Amino acid sequence: MTPMKDHNASLLQVEDLSVTFFTPNGAVRAVRDVSFEVRRNEVLGIVGESGCGKSTVAYAILGYLPGTFRLGGAIRFEGRDITKIPAAELRKLRGNRIAMVYQDPVTSLNPFMRVGPQVAEVLAQHLGHSQGEARLRTAELFESVGLAEHARIGRRYPHELSGGQQQRVMIAMALACDPDLLILDEPTTGLDVTTEATVLDLIRDLKARVNAGIILVTHNLGVVAQVADRVAVMYAGHLVEEAPVRALFKSPRHPYTAGLLSCVPQPVTDASEGRLLRSIPGSVYSAQEETKQACLFASRCPMAREECRTQAPPVVDTGEGHLSKCFYWQQVNGALWGMPEVRRDKTKDATVAPVLAVRGLRHFFGKPRRKYVLFGPMRNRPVRAVVDVGFEVYPGQTLGIVGESGSGKTTLARNISGLIDRTGGEVRLLDKDLAPSVEDRTPAQRAAIRMVFQNPTASLNPMLPVRHALMRPLKKFQGLRGKEGKERAIALLKAVGMEPGHMDRLPGELSGGQQQRVALAATFAGKADIIVADEAVSALDVSVQAQVLNLLKQHQEESGASYIFISHDLGVVRYISDDILVLYAGHVAEFGPRTSVLKPPSHPYTEALLSAAPAPDPDATPTRIRLPGSVPTLREAFKGCFFAGRCPRKLGPICDETPPPAQTNPADGRHVIHCHIPLDDLAKAQMDRSALAA
């Protein structure tokens, strides 16, 4: 009989951990001095900017450190130092008692193997499941993470899934053996808010169900606020603050933590006047620099004094389990980083023509085939990814596009960019037709539209240094070469919070957030009229995200460029967008100015998205609407409303049988909602629910 596990027992102790990598460019001190503990039935959130060592700590626990390295300190799992156990024993722990969900599912899933057998392989390897048992358990796991059509999904290869679907497969794989310690490295980065809410529920359920300890590495402070029990803040390889979640959010005791909290966009449902984001100036103390007897945050700290530059601050217990590595922790307050400036909304000139106009755009994947080539019933009908979508983008304006994974957002973006040929419809740039394929467009049209992709790892050449990604567009689109081109490339790197020394690094030597910053810098190098940003800030920590969003605004004001901004983060969409397009299953649910879309009346689908967004406040009352299942993959046209199968406000048969009308909001003639429910009724119901939650 297996003995009962102590509910509050210490599961993992990390003591004085240091990790140094030795590269051709010198030593990289990824982790300098980190100590913490994880107990059963608790979630420890680890936050900090990219390059602070968060992911390296996670990989060190699993023994997955690459290349030549030196590891110091101890990592004790149930009292045993796992840095000293044989490799064979460590392999038995991985995936079974210690499991991990990685940040980038594209590079974590086997591209040559269907995803169902990949999950089944874990079950067979660690639990000895037969083929039939593994197949049934895989279906249960896929259902638990919200993947529709389990059998069909299991037969697909990773490249046939959206980014969110790939991440859900990774989470299902990690949950397969009900691990004792679950390490989540940015697990919700590629997920939409409704799936994110489901995954966070899964994390809570796992913690309670199997008495597990969980380490959550993330830059999303909203996720940390809603899930974590304790939070550890890392900077330059050090742990600078650790506290219970509420204490850290309400009363931070390190200037770096206060800075991170000041960078978070306002909650999407916040009705107060918009404010400009604040950011932490400079960048993280370089991992290639020696550890010195000083506070490594001093060069960026608004309250640094001479003592901070000549002595290393000790870790101080400020009371009730709240630790801070700061000489002046008692002086940290909300005004430390300055008072927020009011955001000035742009005004739209009604006489100006749109820079981009889209009418009736369609994209279907696949071609219809009959059973017997020329006759017989239809088989394998095309997937209706985008259906009759229309909108306009004006000069100097930003269109935000939101919706769950599988709603058609990326397909729409790639149609506009010409990376895939649209099935039908019209796209006009500056009142001139755009050919469906980028190869058939003029050089000027190709230069006018640039795209920032969701996955920087897959969009940067792994064999070429960062300088190539920047110098090529500077040469091709601006004619800059040699010294002039290099100076401009360095200026672009600095603008996105990176150092000139990164020019000679390969993409694999950078964190996910740093890779995305390089991709953004390369896009700015092209001087495009329209920048299509597909989850451009999803991999960035809140400080760099604030820098990049403000940089995007500054670039837009200076150049007059227009943006199509796709994001799962509704707080970011609220901040950056002028208009918002809500997509569901390839159909337009709602379109209008930001200020109208984000308040009642909203389409029931928009309401669900807004309610699912995690608030960066541990005291916030959860008001999430759980949508059953996931976005359907449609081969047949909808008979009624496209959202009827999941709508929490469904009226009845009319929603199943009749397409919804396009209703115009009388308070704003540009705000259109496709729904059967009268707008007055929608507004009343949604305002009543908001009042009840408050």
Please tell me the predicted confidence (pLDDT) of residue 689.
67
The number of folded domains in the chain is: 2
| Single-letter amino acid code for the residue at 691 | A
What are the residue ranges of helices labelled H in 128-176?
Answer: 131-144, 150-154, 163-175
Q: Which of 176, 198, 233 is the last residue of a domain?
A: 176
**Nearest to 149, CA basis, from 638, 632, 644:** 632
Query: What phi and psi, each to the nearest 5 degrees, are found at residue 631?
Result: -60, 125
pTM equals 0.82
In a domain, 53, yes or no: no
Query: What average pLDDT does the segment 273-286 reach?
Result: 81
In a domain, 219, yes or no: no
In a domain, 659, yes or no: yes
Residue 496: which CATH number? 3.40.50.300
For residues 492 and 603, which has the higher predicted lDDT (pLDDT)? 603
Please tell me the predicted confidence (pLDDT) of residue 341.
74
**Nearest to 323, CA basis, from 411, 244, 383:** 244
Please tell me the predicted confidence (pLDDT) of residue 4.
37
In a domain, 392, yes or no: yes
Residue/partner pairs of 272-277 with CB below 8 Å, 24 or more apart: 273/342, 273/343, 274/342, 274/343, 274/345, 274/574, 274/575, 275/340, 275/341, 275/342, 275/343, 276/340, 276/341, 276/342, 276/343, 276/550, 277/546, 277/549, 277/550, 277/575
In a domain, 620, yes or no: yes
Please tell me the predicted confidence (pLDDT) of residue 272.
63
- Tell me the pairing of strands 10-23 and 26-39: antiparallel
**Residue 619's pLDDT band (boundaries 50, 70, 90)?**
confident
Cβ–Cβ < 8 Å for 356, 425: no
For residues 453 and 256, which has the higher predicted lDDT (pLDDT)? 256
In a domain, 548, yes or no: yes
Domain, as residue range, for 118: 105-176
The whole-angstrom separation of Cα 36 and Cα 663 is: 55
> DSSP assignment, residue 188?
T
Please tell me the predicted confidence (pLDDT) of residue 198.
75
Query: What average pLDDT does the segment 562-568 reach?
Result: 93
In a domain, 374, yes or no: yes
pLDDT digits (tens, 9 = 90+) for 626-646: 787 778 877 778 899 999 999
Q: Which of 150, 176, 202 is the last residue of a domain?
A: 176
For residues 9 and 691, which has the higher predicted lDDT (pLDDT)? 9
Q: Which of 127, 157, 176 is the last residue of a domain?
A: 176
- Tell me the pairing of strands 672-674 and 213-217: unpaired
In a domain, 146, yes or no: yes
> DSSP assignment, residue 219?
S
